[in-house]
Amino acid sequence: METLNDIAALDRFRPRAGEIVLIPTMGALHAGHASLIQHGAKLAEARGGSCVVWIFVNPTQFNDPADYARYPKTLDADLAICKSSGARGVFVPSKDEIYPPGRTVRVPELPRVATQPGLEDARRPGHFAGVCQVVLRFFEIVKPKVAVFGEKDWQQLQVVRAMTRREMPGVEIAPMPTVREPDGLAMSSRNRFLTAEDRVKALAISKALRVAGGEASPKRAEAVMGDVLNEAGISPEYAVVRDAETLEERETESQRALIAAKVGNVRLIDNVAWPVRG
Ligand code: AMP
């Protein structure tokens, strides 16, 4: 595995790489990221290409400067996870390479799903503009055939899909299911900031999603999620059932239950397919 610290190193690697399957991350990797990399490595192998992990904490997608400042940095451990998961390259660029001083890096036109649903878009103003900006920049620099994203960030996945369809239709977006701790908590780089007490409390989020899955209507499911969270002392930012692709509020064939909530001072998000059949 090669660590590529700048675009020049990536360009030297490219002729040996074949088709690239890209895994964009902000580092602080865990088993959820490892599953994306393992999947990427398999896809790359099938194409005779290479899986490349991108590690870059993107300042433009943080609406809270304190969250950016304290975002965990664990590069040595990250490189070990990349290697054991089958990555051939890890691109770790500097901020100045991604956002060259004095140059404007284009923010693409945002798709509706990045501005209309009133979920992450409403709670994190500017977040998806930053995500679309950096993802497009990744794609222009790395020129991947496939990019793998996690379902954990469901609205982000839909935003990236819609943006890529319009801006870079040659890039395939491959989704991967959410990896959870044995007790159900969705893995997240931010979980390490939970106190022991809040770690227990946070379980109410995955529990609420599970319980909601058995309800007969979206309204009932939303009420039940609210109840489970309130019982645990959590007041969610949202706990809703929406169309899975547009995240609009209407009953469709394919729906998703989504929750965002602050537990202590850690903001957590999670989602599942709704309803759970069977
Ligand atoms: P991050 O660096 O954590 O913002 O995320 C990098 C990629 O990993 C995104 O596509 C996330 O959706 C994905 N990801 C984060 N947590 C998980 C998880 N628990 N399971 C699967 N994918 C995840």
Residues 95 and 205 in one domain: no
Distance from the alpha carbon of residue 252 to the mean position of ligand 1, in angstroms: 26
Stretches in the chain below the pLDDT threshold 70: 278
- Beta bridge partner(s), residue 51: 21
Residues 206 and 161 in one domain: no
Residues 29 and 75 in one domain: yes
CATH of the domain at 258: 3.30.1300.10
Q: Whose CA is nearest to atom 13 of ligand 1?
A: 150
CATH of the domain at 171: 3.40.50.620
Residues 113 and 246 in one domain: no
Q: What residues have CB less than 8 Å from 239, skipping those under 6 apart?
A: 208, 222, 225, 226, 229, 257, 258, 259, 261
Residues 44 and 161 in one domain: yes
Give the angle subtended at the CA of 111 by the CAs of 26 and 160, to the nearest 5°. Answer: 30
Distance from the alpha carbon of residue 251 to the mean position of ligand 1, in angstroms: 27
What is the number of domains present in the chain?
2
Listing DSSP states for 207-256 in one string gives HHHHHHTT-SSHHHHHHHHHHHHHHTT---SEEEEEETTT--SS--SSEE
How far is Cα 13 from Cα 7, in angstroms, rounded to an integer?
A: 10
* Contact (Cβ atoms closer than 8 angstroms) between residue 2 and residue 89: yes
Residues 41 and 170 in one domain: yes
| Structural domain boundaries, residue 60 | 2-176
Q: From the CB of 55, is ligand 1 less than 6 Å away? A: no
pTM of the model: 0.98
Residue 170 identity (one-letter amino acid): G
Tell me the catalytic residues.
33
Other Cβ atoms closer than 10 A to 49: 20
Question: Is the residue at 241 inside a domain?
Answer: yes
- The reported pLDDT for the residue numbered 251 is 87
Strands (E) across 17-97 are located at: 20-25, 50-55, 89-91
Q: What are phi and psi for residue 152, nearest 5 degrees?
A: -50, -40
How far is Cα 207 from Cα 32, in angstroms, rounded to an integer?
A: 19
Q: Whose CA is nearest to atom 22 of ligand 1?
A: 150
Question: Is the residue at 278 inside a domain?
Answer: no
Distance from the alpha carbon of residue 47 to the mean position of ligand 1, in angstroms: 24
pLDDT tens-place string over residues 128-169: 999 999 999 999 999 999 999 999 999 999 999 999 999 999
- The reported pLDDT for the residue numbered 277 is 74
